[in-house]
Chain A
Amino acid sequence: MTGSLAMHMANELLSMPVAAATLAAAAGVLAVSGLRARRSLDLEKLPLMGVLGAFVFAAQMINFALPGGLSGHLGGGVLLAILLGPAAAILTIASILIVQCLIFQDGGLLALGCNIINIGVLPALLGWGLYRLVLGPVARAPAWRQYVATWAACTVGVAGGAALVPLEARLSNVLLIPLGDFLAVMVGVHLAIGFVEGAITFAVVAYLRRARPQCLGLEGLDESRNGRVSRRAVAVTLLATAGLLAGVVSWFASAHPDGLEYSYLEHKYAGAEKVVRDAEPGSAVAAVTQWQERTAPLPDYSVRPGEASGSDAAGQSGEAQAEADGAWPNVDGWGSLAGLLGTVVTLGLLYGLSRILGRRRPVADQP
Chain B
Amino acid sequence: MHHSHIDKFAQGRSVIHDLDARTKLLGVLAYTAVLISFSRYAVWELAPMAILPVGMLLLGAVPLGFALRRVAILSPFIAMVCLASPLYDHAPAVLALGPWRLATTAGWLTALDVFLKFLFGVLALTAMMCTTPFALLLEGMRRMRMPRVLILQLGFLYRYLFVLLDEAMRIRRGRDFRGGRQAPAVRRLAAVGGMVGSLFVRTLERSDRIHVAMCARGYRGEPHSLSHLHFHVADFVFLSGVAAYLAACRWAYPLLLKG
Interface residues of A (CB under 8 A from B): 5-8, 10-16, 19, 30-31, 34, 43-55, 57-59, 61-65, 67, 74, 79, 83, 91, 94-96, 98-99, 101-106, 108-110, 169, 174-178, 181-182, 199-200, 202-208, 211-212, 215, 268-269, 296-301, 304, 306-307, 311, 314-315, 318-319, 321-323, 326, 328-337, 339-340, 342-343, 346-347, 350-351, 353-354, 357-358, 361, 363-366
**B138 → chain A, closest Cβ, in Å?**
10
Q: Chain A: which residue is nearest B259 at the CB level?
A: A332
> Which of B44, B92, B220 is A322 in contact with, Cβ under 8 Å?
B92
Question: Chain B residues with Cβ under 8 A from A8's Cβ?
Answer: 77
**A59 → chain B, closest Cβ, in Å?**
5
Contact call B157/A177, Cβ cutoff below 8 A:
no
Contact call A268/B88, Cβ cutoff below 8 A:
yes
Stretch with Cβ within 8 A of A (4 or more), from B100-108, B225-233, B236-244: B100-108
CA–CA, A61 and B193, complex, Å: 13
**B164 → chain A, closest Cβ, in Å?**
4
CA–CA, A319 and B95, complex, Å: 12
Q: Chain B: which residue is nearest A335 at the CB level?
A: B257
CA–CA, A8 and B122, complex, Å: 13
Contact call B96/A331, Cβ cutoff below 8 A:
yes
Question: Chain A residues with Cβ under 8 A from B77's Cβ?
Answer: 5-8, 10
**B44-63, CB < 8 A from A:** 44-45, 47-48, 50-51, 54-55, 58-59, 61
> Which of B29, B78, B134, B207 is A52 in contact with, Cβ under 8 Å?
B207
**B92-116, CB < 8 A from A:** 92-94, 96-101, 103, 105-107, 109-110, 114-115
User: Per DSSP, are chain A's interface residues mostly helix, strand or loop, or mixed?
Assistant: helix
Question: Chain B residues with Cβ under 8 A from A203's Cβ?
Answer: 189-190, 192-194, 196-197
- Answer whether A12 and B78 are a contact pair too, CB < 8 Å, given A50-B154, A176-B88: yes
Contact call B125/A50, Cβ cutoff below 8 A:
no
Q: Chain A: which residue is nearest B7 at the CB level?
A: A103
Question: Chain A residues with Cβ under 8 A from B250's Cβ?
Answer: 297
Contact call B129/A103, Cβ cutoff below 8 A:
yes
Number of B interface residues at 8 Å Cβ cutoff, please give it. Answer: 120
- Answer whether A64 and B92 are a contact pair too, CB < 8 Å, given A34-B149, A54-B156, A298-B254: no
Q: Is B221 an interface residue (CB 8 A)?
A: yes
Contact call A57/B161, Cβ cutoff below 8 A:
yes
**B132 → chain A, closest Cβ, in Å?**
10
> Which of A61, A105, A177 is B168 in contact with, Cβ under 8 Å?
A61
Question: Chain B residues with Cβ under 8 A from A315's Cβ?
Answer: 90
> Which of B92, B125, B194 is A102 in contact with, Cβ under 8 Å?
B125
12 A-B pairs (CB sep. < 8 Å): A30-B150, A44-B219, A51-B207, A102-B125, A102-B129, A200-B192, A211-B197, A306-B92, A329-B41, A332-B258, A335-B256, A346-B51
User: Per DSSP, are chain B's interface residues mostly helix, strand or loop, or mixed?
Assistant: helix
Question: Chain B residues with Cβ under 8 A from A182's Cβ?
Answer: 84
Question: Chain A residues with Cβ under 8 A from B121's Cβ?
Answer: 10-12, 108
> Which of A54, A323, A366 is B160 in contact with, Cβ under 8 Å?
A54
CA–CA, A182 and B54, complex, Å: 33
**B41 → chain A, closest Cβ, in Å?**
5
Question: Chain A residues with Cβ under 8 A from B154's Cβ?
Answer: 50, 95, 98-99
Q: Is B179 an interface residue (CB 8 A)?
A: no
**A155 → chain B, closest Cβ, in Å?**
16
> Which of A65, A211, A326, A333 is B198 in contact with, Cβ under 8 Å?
A211
CA–CA, A99 and B147, complex, Å: 16
Question: Chain B residues with Cβ under 8 A from A64's Cβ?
Answer: 188-189, 192
Contact call A347/B51, Cβ cutoff below 8 A:
yes
Contact call B97/A354, Cβ cutoff below 8 A:
no
Question: Chain B residues with Cβ under 8 A from A95's Cβ?
Answer: 150, 153-154, 157
Given A11-B118, A54-B165, A62-B192, output 12 extra A-B contacts at Cβ < 8 Å: A11-B35, A11-B117, A34-B149, A102-B137, A103-B134, A105-B122, A105-B126, A176-B89, A203-B197, A332-B96, A333-B99, A361-B14
Contact call B94/A328, Cβ cutoff below 8 A:
yes
| Max count, chain B CB within 10 A of own CB: residue among A50, A202, A347 | A50
> Which of B32, B40, B47, B114 is A110 in contact with, Cβ under 8 Å?
B32
Contact call B98/A333, Cβ cutoff below 8 A:
yes
Question: Chain B residues with Cβ under 8 A from A334's Cβ?
Answer: 98
Q: Is B74 an interface residue (CB 8 A)?
A: yes
Question: Chain A residues with Cβ under 8 A from B126's Cβ?
Answer: 105
> Which of B81, B90, B106 is A177 in contact with, Cβ under 8 Å?
B81
Residues 206-228 of B, flagged 1 when their CB comes within 8 A of A and 0 if not, give 11001100010001110000000
CA–CA, A235 and B106, complex, Å: 47
Question: Chain A residues with Cβ under 8 A from B160's Cβ?
Answer: 50-51, 54
> Which of A83, A94, A202, A343 is B47 in contact with, Cβ under 8 Å?
A343
> Which of A50, A74, A108, A358 is B157 in contact with, Cβ under 8 Å?
A50
Q: Chain B: which residue is nearest A265 at the CB level?
A: B88
Contact call B41/A354, Cβ cutoff below 8 A:
no
Contact call B153/A53, Cβ cutoff below 8 A:
yes
Contact call B89/A110, Cβ cutoff below 8 A:
no
